[in-house]
Amino acid sequence: MPFATVGSTLPATMEDEKQLQRDLHIVMFPWLAHGHINPFLGLANSLRSHGFRISFVSTPRNIARIKSQLSQSQTVPRIELVELPLPLMDGLPAGVESSADLKRGGSLPLLVQALDRCQKPFEALLQRLSPDFVIFDNIQYWTARVAAKLEIPAIFFSTYGVAAMTLAFAEEQVGKTAALEHLTEQPPGFPTWVVRRRPYEMRKIVQGQSSGTAIDFVERLVISVKESCATVCNSTNELEGTFMEYWRRSSGRPVLPVGVLMPSLPPRPPVDRCLDWLDRQGPRSVVVVSFGSDYTPTGEEIAAVALGLEESLLPFLYILLGGPPLPQGFDGRTLARGLVVNEWAPQSHILSHPSTGALLTHCGWNSLTEALRFGVPLVALPMRFDQGINARLIAEVLKVGVEVRRNDEDGCFSKDDISKAVTAVMLEEEGRQIKSKAVELQRVLTRNNCEIMETNIRNFVSMLHNEPNNKHP
């Protein structure tokens, strides 16, 4: 059942609000990936600060990581961490409990199947906790059905960009049997024709449609939207307002922004190879390259990026977590102006560093929003899933970056394509305009201590208070 329209005014003070909400209890249940867990944790902290009691559910290894994270941030103990063990699965090694762990073995479909087998234990957990609301992720689409059996309102939290999710939702309505050329066209009423998939991206989706489970990822999204009370998004009207409005109309459900969720910058590590190297570089001179923790580029992709950076003659920091080796002799030829690291790096500190001039990124939503938080221009090199749509959003709509040119049919790119893109952002007139736009957007997103995010959170809090099935209105 959708939420009722909010008709009451917001509480006058934070203390009044906490008094209203002090008995409300929310269970939060993210997908097993750091890029999902971290925004859920950010939302949990925001709701906790408004007086809600939070139970945060994940697998034992993820709970241990979260506990360490909360300890480091000195968060007050109002978030209860609840373990939901994964069942044993043939082909999925013990201890593989997140997408990042898959580098040790197993596969994403197996991880999805393992979580799908947790429906009964999760139902028992909900019966024990008896929350007022459940906030869940679309991979475990069945959460809304389990919650409905227990008469608990369920809310879908999308950690992706809204443009990508609205397009996926629209494509599912068109149907999988539609011809490829129709799937690359603009859906009726979609806000803009420039945000669309390339033929090679759509071909990948059609060819690899299934997640290896009975229900694929897009179907999970559609079910999550249709069977929940509302959708909340890690975005803002300032970034994606027109897409949010389209999603409201097409889904028939409330869609609220609650972002961009921006954790506070932790203390700088006393010793860090990347930061120490950046300290020795010129202002806004370095191209940072990062593909996130979940995606491992192919040998061809690694080589094209490396040789493109070499050809550009620009200083660079190449963060490469696994994968095939770099081209022979690359390290020696670029030693004077580049650094390659093959281990975790403090991305927030790197992006906020005064020497960082641009981020060459796979266009994961968290990486994009983190770069925008610090006013860093973007070089978009999308690899999979929602990333192509994110790339068009930042390059064609927000105009805070450029997208690396690729072959439309097979998605290939060359070292020249990389060199031209980073040079355009770092050295050319187009880049000066992009930098100006990025700084302007940074000011909007961070003004008055992230006033936009706090306003979004308070609107969500008000909606929770007015939900007709709320046990404590």
User: Residues 350, 410: one domain?
Assistant: yes
Nearest CA to 319 among 358, 265, 360? 360
Q: Which residues pair with 380 in a beta bridge?
A: 361, 403
Q: Tell me the Ramachandran region of residue 189: left when phi exceeds 0, alpha when psi lies from -120 to 50, beta otherwise.
A: left
Torsion of CA 428, 433, 435, 438, to 10 degrees: -150
pLDDT band at 12 (very low <50, low <70, confident <90, very high): very low
Strand partners, 58: 83
Do 85 and 184 lie in a common domain?
yes
Averaged pLDDT of the chain: 87
How far apart are the C-alpha atoms of 252 and 134, rounded to whole Å? 20
Q: Do 462 and 402 share a structural domain?
A: no
Q: Are 364 and 454 within one domain?
A: no
Average pLDDT rounded to a whole number, residues 109-115: 93
Query: Which of 229-243, 272-286, 292-306 is predicted least confidently?
Result: 292-306
Query: 236: which residues sit within 8 A by CB, 6+ positions away?
Result: 257, 259, 260, 445, 452, 453, 456
Whole-number CA gyration radius for the chain: 22
Mean pLDDT of 17-39: 82
Strand partners, 27: 55, 134
Q: What is the rounded CA–CA span in Å between residue 376 and residue 350?
A: 11
Angle of CA points 389, 41, 30, to nearest 5°: 65
Model confidence band, residue 384 (pLDDT cutoffs 50, 70, 90) = confident
User: Do 311 and 416 touch, CB atoms closer than 8 A?
Assistant: yes
In whole angstroms, give the CA distance from residue 415 to residue 302. Answer: 10
Which pLDDT tens digit goes with each residue over 170-228?
777 655 544 555 556 777 888 888 888 888 887 776 665 544 555 688 889 889 999 99
Q: Based on the domain organization, do 410 and 455 belong to the same domain?
A: no
Contact at 8 Å (CB) between 347 and 370? yes
Q: For helices 217-226 and 162-174, give the axis angle rounded to 10 degrees.
A: 100
What whole-number distance in Å separates Cα of residue 467 and Cα of residue 473? 8
81 and 211: one domain?
A: yes
Question: Cα(396)–Cα(394) distance, rounded to whole angstroms?
Answer: 6
What is the reported pLDDT for 469? 61
pLDDT at 471: 55
Other Cβ atoms less than 10 A from the Cβ of 97: the count is 23
In the chain, pLDDT over 70 holds for what percent of residues? 87
260 and 351 share one domain: no
Top-ranked range on mean pLDDT: pick from 163-172, 286-295, 320-329, 435-444: 435-444
Higher pLDDT, 175 or 402: 402
pLDDT of 118 reads 97
In a domain, 471, yes or no: no
Please write down the HEC assignment for all residues of the chain: CCCCCCCCCCCCCHHHHHHHHCCCEEEEECCCCHHHHHHHHHHHHHHHHCCCEEEEEECHHHHHHHHHHHHHHCCCCCEEEEECCCCCECCECCCCCCHHHHHHCCCHHHHHHHHHCCHHHHHHHHHHHCCCEEEECCCCCCHHHHHHHCCCCEEEEECCCHHHHHHHHHHHHHCCCCCHHHHCCCCCCCCCCCCCCCHHHHHHHHHCCCCCCCCCHHHHHHHHHHCCCEEEECCCHHHHHHHHHHHHHHHCCCEEECCCCCCCCCCCCCCCHHHHHHHCCCCCCEEEEECCCCCCCCHHHHHHHHHHHHHHCCCEEEECCCCCCCCCCHHHHHCCCEEEECCCCCHHHHHHCCCEEEEEECCCHHHHHHHHHCCCCEEECCCCCCHHHHHHHHHHHCCCEEECCCCCCCCCCCHHHHHHHHHHHHHCHHHHHHHHHHHHHHHHHHHHHHHHHHHHHHHHHHHHHHCCCCCCC
pLDDT score of 73: 59
pLDDT at 428: 94
Q: Does residue 472 form part of some domain?
A: no
Provide the pLDDT confidence category of residue 16 given band limits of 50, 70 and 90: low
Q: What local confidence, expressed as pLDDT, does residue 9 receive?
A: 38
- Is 237 in the same domain as 379? no
Given the structure tokens 């909606």, which residue do they identify? Answer: 463
Distance separating the N- and C-terminal Cα atoms of the chain = 16
Q: What is the tens place of the pLDDT at every residue in 329-378?
A: 999 999 999 999 998 899 999 999 999 999 999 999 999 999 999 999 99
Residue indicated by tokens 């990333």: 387
With respect to residue 211, please indicate whether it lies within any of the assigned structural domains: yes
Check whether residue 96 and residue 162 sit in a common domain.
Answer: yes
Contact (Cβ atoms closer than 8 angstroms) between residue 360 and residue 302: no
96 and 188 co-located in one domain: yes
What's 337's domain CATH number?
A: 3.40.50.2000
Range of the domain at 341: 273-445
Q: Examine residue 2 and state whether it is found in any structural domain, yes or no.
A: no
% of the chain at pLDDT higher than 90: 64
Question: What mean pLDDT do residues 238-261 have?
Answer: 91
Same-domain pairing of 189 and 58: yes
Residue 154 lies in a domain: yes
Sign of the dihedral defined by the CA atoms of residues 262, 267, 273, 277, in that order: positive
pLDDT for 132 equals 96
Determine the average pLDDT of the residues in 443-461.
85
pLDDT of res. 106 = 77
Tell me if 111 is assigned to some domain: yes
Q: Domain check: are 287 and 313 in the same one?
A: yes
Q: Is residue 166 part of a domain?
A: yes
Number of domains in the chain: 2
Residue with tokens 């690396």: 404
pLDDT value, residue 68: 82
User: d(Cα 187, Cα 170) in Å, to the nearest integer?
Assistant: 7
In a domain, 395, yes or no: yes
Cβ–Cβ under 8 Å, residues 321 and 296? yes
